[in-house]
Amino acid sequence: MKHKVLLIILLFFAFEGFSQTYVGVKGGYTMSDISFTPFQNTKTLFADGFDYGVVFRHFNLKHFGFQAELYKVNRGYRKPIDVAELGDTLYKRVNTYMELPMFMQVRFRLKQLAFHLNVGPYIAYLIEASEGDNSTSDYMMSKISLNTLRDNRLDYGLLGGVGLNVDFKWGTIYAEGRFGYGFGDMQKHTYPDMPKQSNAIFQSINVGYLFRFRGANSVKN
pLDDT tens for the chain, 221 residues long, are 545 444 444 444 444 455 789 999 999 999 999 999 999 999 999 868 899 999 999 988 889 999 999 999 999 999 998 655 556 789 999 999 999 999 999 999 888 899 999 999 999 999 999 999 888 878 888 999 999 999 999 999 999 999 999 999 999 999 999 999 999 999 999 999 999 999 999 999 999 999 988 654 444 44
**Paired strand residues for 97:** 73, 126
Residue 217, C-beta contacts closer than 8 angstroms, at least 6 positions apart = none
Amino acid making up residue 23: V
Cis peptide before 121 (omega within 30 of 0): no
Q: Compute CA distances 63 → 19, 35, 110, 175, whole Å.
A: 11, 35, 12, 18
| pLDDT score recorded for residue 217 | 46
Q: Distance (Å, rounded) from C-alpha 89 to C-alpha 139? A: 10
Q: Whole-model pTM?
A: 0.84
Q: Spelled out in words, what is the top-level CATH class assigned to the domain 20-220?
A: mainly beta
Domain locations in the chain as residue ranges? 20-220
Residue 76, C-beta contacts closer than 8 angstroms, at least 6 positions apart = 32, 34, 45, 48, 92, 93, 94, 95, 129
| pLDDT score recorded for residue 52 | 96
Residue 61, C-beta contacts closer than 8 angstroms, at least 6 positions apart = 15, 18
Q: Distance (Å, rounded) from C-alpha 132 to C-alpha 33? A: 16
Residue 100 CB burial class (10 angstroms; 0-12, 13-18, ≥19):
middle
